[in-house]
Structure 1
Amino acid sequence: MLATAVVAAVTTPVLLLSVTPALADTAPSGASRTQGQGDRGKPSVEELEKAAEKAQKAYDDAVAADRAARDIVDAALSDEAPLAVAAATARKEAAAAATAKESADKTLADATAARAALPETATDDEKAAADQAVTDAEGAARSAADTKAAADTKATTAGRAADDARVAAVREYSKVRDALKKALAEKKAADKALADAREEGEPELPGCDLENRLLTVVTGLPSKIVAGSTTDFSLRVTNGTDKTLDKVSSRVYFHATDKTGYNVIDDAFHVQWSTAASPGWKNTQGNSVRSLGALKAGTHTDVKLRLKVDATAPAGIGLAFVGGDYVNDDETCGGNMSTEHDFELLAATGDTGNADGGGDGDDTTPGTSTPGTPETEPQGATSTTPVASSTAAAGTTTTLTPTGALASTGSPSALPQLTAAAATATVLGAAVVLTARRRRADSA
């Protein structure tokens, strides 16, 4: 009976909640959250916050009550419980009484058998002694039987009392768990109502795919760059998706340190850009080339880039991060993670001319803007022909990667620290895309 009751109570599909109905009543239900609001409509965020706090408090109280009730039921189910100890003692007494009765019954049987076995020649004294032995054995047997009956009754009563206490404890614990389940449900409902209210005013914005098929490949960036030099290279942005991307942007970010790996010298790097549609050299803004315009499915656009390094920059190592992103008219957006290109920075040696023969970076072709000219937004040109790779100037060390593969420079000792320090740049495109998407939603 006890095992059945314990299993039934413990396996009841209830979870956690309040200790008493009064405790359960402290948890705010859906009805209580809206009661008395009349024509005011939905509850305010502040009201829902208070309801969520109240539900959390009720749940915390229910959890504490559950722990306390668990201790009680564990104690009740223990063999050390007072009623359990009393029942065990009564069972031992009943067992001893049963043994005594068996002994008395055997004595009676032996006495009876002995009297029956007296020969015909037995004297009157022998017969009287045998009769007396049977009489004494019969009395002892009756007394042992009475003692056993009383011990059995006591053991049964004590056992039932112990079992009833255990079943009662399990049932009470089941009620506590029912209350805990209710409190948990109330808490979840209050939390959800608050979360829904907070998000209700937020515009539905499409997500951005940070690893899609908008590809960016750098070409012509050397593995060694001299401080004070100017290096021309290019970036190809390819739409590998099956639809037109309305506004495509690219970005380039240079991060470098001196040879210690700890002194950052990013400010020594200056990048300009140019496209076929907007051929003048223009300064990047926040490491970003402005919108390259629309890019049809399967096509690409090429961006010419020019890197200038301050002549005062110390020798060191660096990483170039390149990437791209897009924002469509339907407010979908996406981008690719940045590609890393490592390089060695050499100190200026006196001749700080163009590292790739492209001039000092301040010259512009006729009809183009100067480096200081305010940036204009080009209409990105598309083509199917790769941009021509730059040619290294005499007297400079320039390793080109015309296939778009990253230059191989080995791994300078401080490169791991440099990579870790520049990790934020890998999500730069995502931040810009999300910002642009938010602004579009706000202006709608």
Structure 2
Amino acid sequence: MDECDSFSDNNKVVTELRGLPSKVVAGSGWVNFTYRVTNKSKKDFNAVEAYVDLLAIDGEKFEDSSRFLTLQWQIGGEWKAISIEDGYFGTTGKLKPGEYADAKLRLMVDAKAPAGFGAAFTTGVHIDGKGGCEFGETMIFEFDILAAGTKPGDVDDAEGKPGDKPGNKPAPQGDLEELPVTGNLAETGSSSILPTVGIAGGIAVVAGAGVVFAMKRRRSGDATA
């Protein structure tokens, strides 16, 4: 990755999680879903660095229980860990307008995890190759963490809601493995995520989760202005 001399926002760098369930039972094994980054602008993207972060909150003590989460992505037929402290895991090649790149992800919640709440944060950073880094909008996907042995009943996919992460934005990492371009919106239809304003529902949970997220960012020192 080229060094970033400037930072700006670009809401045409669109990220989403497809198939992440809205409920996950602790100790139930791997949960598979997909990370997608799409170029919804009218210009070519040189490269987009993919970012995802997870956190969990104990539903009784409201303490950070993220240590019970394991996140991996598949590259070259192998599963590799995504550091919850770093968040960046891959980069696209050039994305033309309407093109997107997918990555297979999976999540495991340890059987010892307390019942509570989880949230996944996604974004993408367009590295324009000229010293500029353009941050896409942050998307938040909330899910319930159920105690081991619980029957979850009907489970829908977690819905993404736009919302800025508290604190500073995570800095791009560089030296990441490439996500292949996998399709074009012109061929497959637009994203299923509907635009919303703010964070609807569970606002107290996400607000508390956001504080933990900000604390993790400060501890890791992985931030830029």
Give the structure-2-normalised TM-score.
Answer: 0.69
1:396-407 residue pairs with structure 2 within 5 A? 403-404=192-193
For the residues of structure 2 that align with 1:415 and 1:376, how far apart are their CA atoms? 29
Contact 1:271 1:283 in 2 (8 A): yes
> Which residue type is aligned with residue 404 of structure 1?
I
Task: State the Cα distance separating 1:231 from its structure 2 match.
Answer: 0.9
Question: What's the CA shift for 1:247?
Answer: 2.4
Matches within 5 A, 1:17-28: none
- CA drift of 1:314 comes to 0.8
Question: What's the CA shift for 1:270?
Answer: 1.3
Alignment match, 2:148:
348
Following superposition, which runs of at least 4 residues in structure 1 exceed 4 angstroms of deviation?
A: 412-415, 423-427
Pairwise CA distance, 1:213 = 1.2
Q: 281, 302, 315: which is aligned to 2:79? A: 281
Check the 8 A contact 2:25/2:150 in 1, yes or no: no
Flag the structure with higher helix content: 1
Instruction: Please say if 1:221 is aligned against 2:20.
Output: yes
Q: Which has the higher strand share?
A: 2
Shift of 1:324: 0.8
User: Equivalent residue for 2:98?
Assistant: 298
Give secondary structure in 2 for the equivalent of 1:383.
strand
Whether the 8 Å contact between 1:230 and 1:306 is mirrored in structure 2 is: yes
**Identical columns (%):** 29
Distance 1:250 1:226 in 2: 27
For structure 1, the residue ranges without an aligned partner over 5 or more in a row are 1-204, 357-374, 387-401, 436-444
Distance 1:336 1:321 in 2: 12
1:231 aligns with 2:21: no
Q: Does the CA-based 8 Å contact 1:317-1:345 persist in structure 2? A: yes
**Using CA pairs below 8 Å that are at least 6 residues apart, which structure has the higher relative contact order?**
2
User: Quick one: which of 112, 117, 124 aligns to 1:312?
Assistant: 112
Alignment CA distance shift 1:405-1:315 (3 Å): farther
CA distance change for structure 1 residues 252 and 403 in 2, over 3 Å: closer, same or farther? same
Measured in 1, the distance between the counterparts of 2:34 and 2:20 equals 8
Query: Matched residues in 2 for 1:259 and 1:326: separation?
Result: 36
Distance 1:320 1:243 in 2: 28
Offset of 1:405 from its aligned partner?
A: 5.4
Give the Cα separation in 2 of the matches to 1:280 and 1:304.
11
Post-superposition offset of 1:266: 1.0
TM-score for both structures, normalised by structure 1: 0.37
Q: Is the 8 A contact 1:294 1:380 kept in 2?
A: no
Distance 1:340 1:421, change over 3 A: same
Structure 2: runs of 5 or more not aligned: 157-174
Separation (CA, whole Å) in 1 of partners of 2:10 and 2:106 = 27
Deviation at 1:350, TM superposition (A): 8.2
Alignment of 1:62-77 (within 5 A): none
Deviation at 1:240, TM superposition (A): 1.9
What secondary structure sits across from 1:272 in the alignment? strand
For 2:20 and 2:39, the matched residues in 1 are separated by 22
**RMSD across aligned positions (CA):** 3.7
What is the CA–CA distance in structure 2 between the aligned matches of 1:306 and 1:244, rounded to whole Å?
29
Number of corresponding residues: 190
CA shift at 1:313, angstroms? 0.6
Residue of structure 2 equivalent to 1:324: 124
Match of 1:246 in 2: 46
Distance 1:241 1:419, change over 3 A: same
Aligned to 2:210: 419
The whole-number CA distance in structure 2 between the counterparts of 1:403 and 1:426 is: 30
1:423–1:376 Cα change, 3 Å: closer
Please tell me whether the aligned partners of residues 239 and 245 of structure 1 are also in contact (alpha carbons under 8 angstroms): yes
The answer on 1:377 being equivalent to 2:177 is yes
1:130-279 to 2 correspondences below 5 Å:
206-228=5-27, 229-274=29-74, 278-279=76-77
